[in-house]
Structure 1
Amino acid sequence: MSFIVVIPARAASTRLPDKPLLDIAGKPMVVRTAEQAALSGASRVVVATDDARIELAVRQYGFEALLTRADHATGTDRLAEVAGQLALEPDAIVVNVQGDEPLIDPALIDQVAQLLAVQPDAAIATCATPILDASSLFNPNIVKVVCTRAQRALYFSRAPVPWARDALADGERRLAPGIPALHHIGLYAYRVDFLKQFSSMPAGPLETYESLEQLRALENGYSIAVHITGAHPAAGVDTAEDLARVRQNFINRL
């Protein structure tokens, strides 16, 4: 199985300006992410950015970088442009790794790519892990996914789904025993032909209200395969606290 990794990296961030360029143990965050992605089975790792500073930083460390348009609404739209720039075949598999994931597990990248490769009727493959505490279930910054028995996504939400009616009837926030609550991990594999279709689809009401672009695929009738992993991956970098935690992780490795 052959696949490539594309890492969308935008400089704009409300909480952490120039986030992809922030230093982690002597290297920019996006470079650390690319290094992790390169440990997967990907045949190619490409950083896609709208900022020439990020492009230069990535190239200085020997990784491939492409400049893309600055007006893309989502990272998936940016991937579609990259697929066009690289003239990838329609059935080529592209894995989207976020640029703020310097601790991403290379094995998880391989597993998501493999899942899409063996399920030709799925438009997208992604992954999730069981939720183990009530605070995560009720945290709107943690995206939840509900799946079929065949591990196809039924819905993604920032709300606590599935809702355990009886266990939560008294208003207490708790995790009902055995509830199949899953924390969605924002790692995606696509085929190039679907990427091109996706970028031309208008955002629907579910995507708009939840602010979750994967709902665009479900709203248009496409299937998303979900790999369930028991390992809880390290969180990405969204806040200054996250950045400090990741920096310490790298320092501990030295």
Structure 2
Amino acid sequence: MSVLIVIPARYASTRYPAKPLAMLTGAGGNTRSLIERSWRAASEVQGVDKVVVATDDDRIKDAAEAFGAEVVMTSVDCANGTERCAEAHTVLGGGYDIVVNLQGDAPLTPHWFVESLVQGLRNDPNAGIATPVLRCDGAALNGLLADRKAGRVGGTTAVFAADHAAMYFSKEVVPFTSKTYDDADATPVFHHVGVYAYRPDALASYSSWNVGPLEQLEGLEQLRFMENGHKVLCVEVEAKGRQFWELNNPEDVPKIEAMMAEMGQD
């Protein structure tokens, strides 16, 4: 099955304008943009036929082409990364069996997250979309709770059924737990990792659906699939000692740089 990875990137983010061009310094002192680090992460995934950056902005296009990425220009009307991936797949002529949306704000995404995600979709013919979830340890949960307490929109959490079909995604920390956890403790909270794998028919249908009330409230694009009765498969992945965090706010830059330094990632 052929696999396309699309990295959607837009300049005009409401919460963090020019975020794809934010600079991050790695363990060896090399400073690279967020979009380049996301592209490098995508390029490490095995079994992929093509990796492209999809954008509507010439500044991102020029920066991406400068470090060697293939760029697909998409419309400014794309409301989110899923719509941009759908358009990029069409612009490329379609024909891929699985389209992966590796969002451009997750440069620490390990390659095995994406590989497990693709395999999960291959194994479940009833799922039109799959996305990875990572069980939070106490440190990660406390980080999510600290963001919410400070009024910041941090990571997204996921709740799913016994068959791993998603029940809900939220920018709040769900499910609620009143227990106090040490940093290394396993918790009942799962961090949703911002990567998606779609079957082309589900991806093509997405833009034809209206935005539902849950997607509008949460600002989470994957809820549109659920609100239209499509199974979203949550694939549990393991960190294997790697730290993971998304760049959602400017305050996340030093946090991600510290993680890269600790992991020796340049």
Same fold judged by TM-score > 0.5? yes
Describe the shift of the 1:137–1:22 C-alpha distance in structure 2 as closer, same or farther (beyond 3 A).
closer
Residue 118 in structure 1 maps to residue 123 in structure 2: yes
1:229 aligns with 237
Provide the rounded CA distance (Å) in 2 between the counterparts of 1:31 and 1:157.
28
Return 240-249 or 54-63, whichever deviates more. 240-249
Residue 11 in structure 1 maps to residue 8 in structure 2: no
Describe the shift of the 1:213–1:108 C-alpha distance in structure 2 as closer, same or farther (beyond 3 A).
same
The structure 1 residue matched to 2:44, chosen from 14, 34, 39, is: 39
Provide the rounded CA distance (Å) in 1 between the counterparts of 2:123 and 2:56.
33
Return 75-84 or 133-142, whichever deviates more. 133-142
Residue 201 in structure 1 maps to residue 209 in structure 2: yes
Whether the aligned pair in 1 keeps the contact of 2:7 and 2:103 (CA below 8 Å) is yes
Provide, for residues 173-201 of structure 1, a one-character-per-residue CA deviation record: whole Å limited to 9, x for no partner: 756x9863322111110011111101111
Give the structure-1-normalised TM-score.
0.86
SS at match of 2:207: helix
Counterparts in 2 of 1:10-159, with a 5 A limit?
A: 10-24=10-24, 25-41=30-46, 42-89=48-95, 92-133=97-138, 135=142, 138=145, 139=148, 141-159=154-172
Describe the shift of the 1:253–1:222 C-alpha distance in structure 2 as closer, same or farther (beyond 3 A).
closer
The Cα of 1:32 is off from its aligned counterpart by 1.6
* Sequence identity (%): 37
Q: Which amino acid aligns with 1:207?
A: E
Provide the rounded CA distance (Å) in 1 between the counterparts of 2:100 and 2:197.
4
Whether the aligned pair in 1 keeps the contact of 2:136 and 2:186 (CA below 8 Å) is no
Provide the rounded CA distance (Å) in 2 between the counterparts of 1:229 and 1:163.
22
The Cα of 1:9 is off from its aligned counterpart by 0.6
Provide the rounded CA distance (Å) in 2 between the counterparts of 1:14 and 1:208.
15
The Cα of 1:136 is off from its aligned counterpart by 5.2
Instruction: Say which one has the larger Rg.
Output: 1
The Cα of 1:76 is off from its aligned counterpart by 0.5
The Cα of 1:250 is off from its aligned counterpart by 6.0
Residue 162 in structure 1 maps to residue 175 in structure 2: yes
Whether the aligned pair in 2 keeps the contact of 1:97 and 1:187 (CA below 8 Å) is yes
Whether the aligned pair in 1 keeps the contact of 2:127 and 2:230 (CA below 8 Å) is yes
Provide, for residues 13-56 of structure 1, a one-character-per-residue CA deviation record: whole Å limited to 9, x for no partner: 34543221223334322112111111102211100001111112
Unaligned runs of 5+ in 1: none
Q: Which amino acid aligns with 1:53?
A: R
Q: Which amino acid aligns with 1:84?
A: T
The structure 2 residue matched to 1:246, chosen from 256, 259, 265, is: 256
SS at match of 1:181: strand
Give the structure-2-normalised TM-score.
0.83
Whether the aligned pair in 2 keeps the contact of 1:77 and 1:199 (CA below 8 Å) is yes
Whether the aligned pair in 2 keeps the contact of 1:105 and 1:233 (CA below 8 Å) is no
